[in-house]
Structure 1
Amino acid sequence: MTSETDVLEFSLGEDRYCIDIAHVDEIVDATEDVTPIPNADANVVGVVDLRGETTTVVDPRVRLGIKGSPDGSRIVVLSEHESTGLLVDDVHEVESVDPDEIDDSAASETTRGVVRRDDRFVVWVDPDALV
């Protein structure tokens, strides 16, 4: 028996991505100033103070090989990675995904596959591979 998984859809540029909602702790506006960290990995944008806790902000574009600058407006804070958030352009909705909707032939080091929606594809990313 297969069960559906709830995923959070977000966008990077023109494209849609999703992660399992179980990996999401919270979503916050990226209004805080991000402090750059010298000599950090290319995917690390910097750190922000979220309610007194230092949170590392990473740009998923780097690991996904997407061109463009990190001008995201939202931070998706991950639950399994202590104080780490993904900088995304926009957060859309939580959707249920049936395992039959996943095309895992497109899976890679950073993705679980592609979810087919009515008029678009949503790339299911592995948060562990992005941080």
Structure 2
Amino acid sequence: MSEIANDKKGILLETGTNEFEIIEFIVGKVHYGINVAKVREVITPVPVTPMPNSHPNVDGIFTLRGRVMPLVNLLTCLGVEDQEAASKNIIISELNTFFVGFLVNQVSRIHRVSWSAMEPVPDTAADSDMAVGIIKLEEKIIILLDFEKIIAEINPQINAKMVDVSQGSVELQAVRKTKKIMIAEDSKMLRELLIESLHKVGYINITTYPNGKDAWDALAAFADGGLPIEENVHTLITDIEMPQMDGHHLLKKVRENKKLEKLPVLIFSSLINEEMRLKGETIGANGQASKPEINKLINLLDTMSL
């Protein structure tokens, strides 16, 4: 898989262009994709130690470069019956500061696409809740999987941390109730968890949008309305990986707009690592927190909004 590694190393996108790269891989006979930003490397199968009472989609644990991590069998997860036929690879991924390996049949190549080209999965499609979108190429359809959902199912503690919050004093909660918060987050599950957690600590005036484009349209309308932006929004919280418009591109457009440029923007994403943190800082993020660090997000929100 050195070709994949070299391709990944060679792709350096300008931050905020609304483009991203996906690594295409095959499970069964279906083509899937994962954001390159989530991938650390691709390896051939390694010895795996089964663990008692583990999730049925987890084959066991293995060691790579001194780090122990679980191996999630995507063939089992996606219902592939014949698991012996094809060659296999392991995609090493970092999600929510959680390292994990995903067993797949074959890793193919890297594609560079625009978030605007990502389409929603039809509601009638089987296992549509396992996918975040589709990319239509000339010769195939690539399904982008919801890896956060897959991980949350095998490690429920991740989502539990999203609602384990420190509420603060009554006086602090009273001030929080006066602030208007906008959230751009494509995952319905995470939007609901965020709302629940923020409501607990007093941030009750929240407006959510399922992607960066819808959030931008709302912000642009506020800017055209003539009122200072703080009359409508005190702080924007945005994910990075979203269809139509990603969080970095959304942030870039905010900073380029004279009426919005001072709006505090916080990034809350599973993609926060050293490289992505630097990208966020470069285009003007006021703060960044990795999911599920909800208390860190709330502390940043207090700093920006109060």
TM range (shorter): 0.7 to 0.9
- Which of the numbers 59, 65, 82 marks the counterpart of 1:45? 59
Which structure has the greater CA radius of gyration? 2
Moved more, 12-21 or 73-82: 73-82
Normalization by structure 1: what TM-score?
A: 0.85
- Which of the numbers 12, 19, 29 marks the counterpart of 2:27? 12
Identify the residue that residue 103 of structure 1 maps to in structure 2: 119
Q: Any conservation in 2 of the 1:35–1:48 contact (CA below 8 Å)?
A: yes
1:84-123 matches, cutoff 5 A: 84-106=100-122, 108-123=128-143
Q: Any conservation in 2 of the 1:23–1:127 contact (CA below 8 Å)?
A: no
1:15-34 matches, cutoff 5 A: 15-30=30-45, 32-34=46-48
Q: Which amino acid aligns with 1:38?
A: P
In 1, distance between residues paired with 2:43 and 2:136?
A: 27
Deviation for aligned residue 1:84: 0.9
Normalization by structure 2: what TM-score?
A: 0.39
Task: Please tell me whether residue 82 in structure 1 is matched to residue 98 in structure 2.
Answer: yes
Q: Any conservation in 2 of the 1:111–1:125 contact (CA below 8 Å)?
A: yes
Q: Any conservation in 2 of the 1:75–1:87 contact (CA below 8 Å)?
A: yes
- Which of the numbers 136, 144, 151 marks the counterpart of 1:124? 144
Give the aligned length.
Answer: 130
Moved more, 95-104 or 44-53: 95-104
Structure with the largest fraction of helix:
2
Distance change >3 Å, CA 45–CA 72, structure 1 → 2: farther
Write the deviation string for residues 69-100 of structure 1: whole angstroms up to 9, x where unpaired: 27662111111252311001111111112234
Q: Which amino acid aligns with 2:149?
A: A
Write the deviation string for residues 4-41 of structure 1: whole angstroms up to 9, x where unpaired: 111111111211100111111221111x2111112211
Q: Any conservation in 2 of the 1:72–1:89 contact (CA below 8 Å)?
A: yes
In 2, distance between residues paired with 1:106 and 1:68?
A: 26
Moved more, 44-53 or 58-67: 58-67
Unaligned 5+ segments in structure 2 are 1-15, 152-306
Distance change >3 Å, CA 52–CA 2, structure 1 → 2: closer
Deviation for aligned residue 1:45: 0.9
In 1, distance between residues paired with 2:99 and 2:35?
A: 18
Identify the residue that residue 201 of structure 2 maps to in structure 1: none
Q: Any conservation in 2 of the 1:106–1:114 contact (CA below 8 Å)?
A: no
Q: Any conservation in 1 of the 2:136–2:142 contact (CA below 8 Å)?
A: yes
CA RMSD of aligned residues (A): 2.2
Unaligned 5+ segments in structure 1 are none
